[in-house]
Amino acid sequence: MSFEIFNLNPKVLSGVRAQGYTEPTPIQAQAIPIVIQGRDLIGLAQTGTGKTAAFVLPMLHRLMEFPKGRVTALIVSPTRELAEQTCENINVLGKYTGLRAISIYGGVGADAQLRGIRRGVEIIVACPGRLLDHVLKGNLDLSHVEVLIIDEADRMFDMGFLPDIRTIVKCLTKPRQTLLFSATMPPDIRKLVQEVLHNPAEVKIGISAPAESVSHVLYPVKPHLKTPLLKELLRTSDTDSVLVFARTKHRVEKLAQQLQRSGYKVAALQGDMSQWQRQEAMEGFRDGSLKILVATDIAARGLDVLSITHVINYDMPDTTDAYTHRIGRTGRVKNTGEAYTLVTNDDKEMIRALERIFKKPLETRQLEGFDYTAEAAIPADAMPARMQYGRPKPEVRNDRRPVQNSRPRFRSQEPKPSIGDKQPERGRLVSSRTSTGENRPAERSARPATRQQPIRRETSTTR
Ligand code: AMP
C-alpha cells in the first residue's frame, strides 16, 4: 500500500516523500481515510506506531481548504517534549503546504510564543496550562479552530490535565472535527470522549500490548545489586542507544551520576530539570553523543528516538500500561529492540500481570560471571528497620494510575561496582542536581544562567 491511495493534497504528499515514508503504518492506513472525510476519531495507539503522522497528514490535507492566517488546528499534548516533536513533524511533513505551526508550553518565556502567535499561524501544538494562560490573557483566538486533536489523552489524565482540556474545549466553536489519541481507554477518557467527540470512528492498534518487535527479558537481582548488574549488562550487551527507566526523580539523578562516574556518556531526564536541560539531554541522546538516557516515565513521554536499541527497566514500572509505554520507546515502526527488566522479589505480582498480557511466560536470564551473592556494603539486616532498603510490595493493577506506595526514606550504602567495568570514553552529565535539589551547571554543556527558566505547570508532576 502506498500513500497515493489516500488522495492527499499533492503538497502534503510531497512532504511524505521528502520524509522518506513509502508505506503507511497500520494506524495511518486506518485513520487517514476517516480523518480526511472530516469525521471524529478515537485512535487507540501507542507512540511508535506512526500515530503522529496518522493525524498530521489528514489534518494538513484538510487545513489546505481553510483561510490562512488564523488558527484552524489545535493539538493538545501532555508534555513539552511531545509538543515540540509533534510540531517538528508538522514542519517536516507540511513543509510544502505553506501552513505554519508553533508549539506552546510552560517552563519557557511566553514572549517568543506571543510573537509567534502574532506573526500568524494556522496550527498550534500546546500543553494545556500555557495554552490556557494565552487564551485567558486574550493572546490567542481559538474561535476558528476546525480540527482539535487531543494527543496521549490517558497521559493527560494521569497528569491531571482533564479539567484544563474541558476548559479548552469550551473555548472552541462548533462544529469542529475532534480526534483523540490514547494508548489506553480508562473510564475517565471514555467519559471525555462522550462529552467532546461526535459519533466518532474508532481505530485500534496494539492496544496495551507491548510492541511485538521487542524481545523482553527479566533479570532477577537483589535490590542492592541493581546498579552493578546494570553496569555489567551495559558492558556485556551489544547496546547502542539505551533508555533506562527508574522510579523516581531522585533515583534517576543518582543512577545517572553513578553511570557517569563509571565513564558512560549519560544524561538524566526528569521533570525537575529546566527546559534547556531537558532539551540538551534529549538532543544529545538523539544525535548519539549520549549513549544512555536515564529517565522517569513522565519525562520520557513522547521521546522519539528511532535508534533506541535497548530499554532497561532499572525499576519495574507500577502498572502494565507504564511497561507498555516504556517499551514503546524501542522497536519503533520496523526496528527491533530489546527490553531488559531488573526484577526483585517485590516484582512477582507485576511479572504475573505482564505474563497475562503477553499470554506466555517472560524469559528470565542470569548474567554469566556476575556475582549475584555479593553483600550490600552495609548489610540490610544490620540496620535499624526504618533504614532497610526496599519498598512495600506493590499492588498490581492494569490501569494507568500508579499505586501509591510509601517510598523508603533511607537506603543502604551503594555497593561497590563489580570488577571489570569497562571504562568507556569519559562522558558528560548533561544535567544533574545536587543532593540538596539545586540545579548544578552541567559539565561541558553549561549554558548561561539567563537561559534557565522557572519550572512551570507542565512540569509539576511527581515523576
Ligand atoms: P510516532 O508513533 O508518531 O511517534 O512515530 C514513530 C516514528 O515512526 C517516528 O520517528 C516517525 O517519523 C516514524 N514513522 C511514522 N510513519 C512512518 C512511515 N509510514 N514509515 C516510516 N516511518 C514512519
- CATH code of 214-364, in short, is 3.40.50.300
d(CA 73, ligand 1 centre) in Å: 21
Choosing from 5, 214, 304 the residue with most ligand 1 atoms within 8 A of its CB, the one to mutate for a pocket test is 304
Q: Which of the four CATH numbers 3.40.50.300, 3.40.50.720, 3.30.70.3270, 1.10.760.10 does domain 3-205 have? A: 3.40.50.300
Q: Is the CB of 79 under 6 A from ligand 1?
A: no
- Domain ranges, ordered by start, for the chain: 3-205, 214-364
444 vs 317 pLDDT, higher one: 317
How far, in Å, CA of 246 to CA of 252, rounded?
6
Choosing from 3, 16, 25, 47 the residue with most ligand 1 atoms within 8 A of its CB, the one to mutate for a pocket test is 25
Note the pLDDT tens digit of each residue in 358-412. 888 899 999 999 999 988 765 444 444 444 444 444 444 443 333 333 333 223 3
Burial of 366 (0-12, 13-18, 19+ CB in 10 A): exposed
Asked whether the domain spanning 214-364 has the same topology as the one spanning 3-205, the reply is yes
- 351: part of which helix (H) or strand (E)? helix 348-358
The whole-number average pLDDT for the span 325-331 is 72
The whole-number average pLDDT for the span 28-42 is 96
Task: Look at residue 181 in the predicted model and tell me its pLDDT.
Answer: 94
Residues linked to residue 43 through DSSP beta bridges, in sequence order? 181, 203
The cell for 84 is 515540540
Distances (CA, A) of 127 to 48, 105, 153, 294, 410: 20, 5, 12, 23, 35
Q: Is the pLDDT of residue 436 over 60?
A: no
How far, in Å, CA of 291 to CA of 303, rounded?
15
Report field, pTM of the whole predicted structure over 0.85: no
The cell for 294 is 536515564
d(CA 210, ligand 1 centre) in Å: 17
pLDDT winner (highest mean) among 137-151, 193-207, 442-456: 137-151
